[in-house]
Amino acid sequence: MNLVVYPEKRQIGQAAAMMFAAQLLKNPRSVLGFATGSSPLPVYESLTALYDQGLLDFSKAVSFNLDEYVGLDRDHPASYHAFMQQNLFSKINLPQENIHIPSGTESDVEQSAKAYDASIAACGGIDLQILGIGNNGHIAFNEPCDCFPDGTHKVQLSESTIAANARFFDSADQVPRFAVSMGIGSIMRARQIILIATGKAKAEAVLGMVKGDITPRCPASILQLHPCVTVFADPDAAALL
Ligand code: F6R
């Protein structure tokens, strides 16, 4: 695990965007894994800037997102579909038909989760996956539990995640209690991973991820076993290392 600490979120965004740029320049047909939440926003801003400068072409790339809330229509302003449109997809030339985000409104969640994993496999797997980390050590919506789930699945969100994500809703009551999330196996099969951690609230989780025992009680700790992970942190998130 490669750990890089930068004082500013802007620098983290630029450095991580450089890794996406290198991947896309090496292979314009790259399969990119995207995340939502505050952590990747500076990366999406830098990717948009590189695209605006004519340096990046997403027209042949394919993307897969980590997760979506169960019960939120894709047009709901707090859905991850809406988040990605607003913060990245409306600003670059990634074709809509190449974009994949788990659906939170399928009647048969299990079936659509299997189909999602099959689509990832059919595209040859994810080349570069970006992750945030939950205050409780979750990656995607794989919450602390007794095992590492493999594929995409329905999860019950923990109280800590509901509280942390309430800022995207009018109140905590409105945060959906369930989500569809890529599993730990899906994430670990990505050939390269970038994880972004910023702010004091992430310090315990970052400590567990980097130096703790590998345990599903801190899901991000499994990344110690991945051969190609770069963690970008700010000094607050790296404070306990
Ligand atoms: C989002 C996701 C989550 C977030 C995590 C951190 O798609 O999968 O794991 O990355 O909850 O969220 P922020 O970045 O908002 O602190």
197-215: pLDDT as tens digits: 999 999 999 999 999 999 9
Position 28 scores a pLDDT of: 98
Residue nearest to atom 9 of ligand 1 (CA): 140
What pLDDT, on the 0 to 100 scale, is given for residue 188? 98
Which atom in ligand 1 lies closest to the alpha carbon of residue 198?
A: 16
pLDDT (tens digit per residue) in 42-64: 999 999 999 999 999 999 999 99
Query: Which of helix, strand or coil describes residue 161?
Result: helix
Q: How confident is the model at residue 1 (pLDDT cuts 50, 70, 90)?
A: very high
Q: Which two tokens stand for residue 67?
A: 């997760």
158: exposed, middle or buried (Cβ count in 10 Å: 0-12, 13-18, 19+): middle
- 4 three-class SS: strand
Residue 27: what pLDDT?
98
pLDDT of residue 181: 98
35 alpha carbon – ligand 1 mean position (Å): 7
CA atoms of 24 and 193, how far apart (whole Å): 15
Ligand 1 atom at shortest distance from the alpha carbon of 165: 15
Task: Quote the pTM value.
Answer: 0.97
Pick from 136, 156, 141: nearest CA to 206: 136
Residue 147: pLDDT band (50, 70, 90) is very high
pLDDT band at 22 (very low <50, low <70, confident <90, very high): very high
67-76 residue pLDDT tens: 999 999 999 9
Q: Where are the alpha helices (DSSP H) in 74-108?
A: 80-84
* Residue to substitute in 12, 34, 38, 39 for testing ligand 1 pocket (most ligand atoms within 8 angstroms of CB): 39
Active site residues: 67, 136, 138, 143
Q: What is the mean pLDDT of the chain?
A: 97
Q: What is the pLDDT of residue 197?
A: 98
What's the pLDDT score for residue 18?
98
Give me the mean pLDDT over the 66-92 stretch: 96
What's the pLDDT score for residue 30?
98
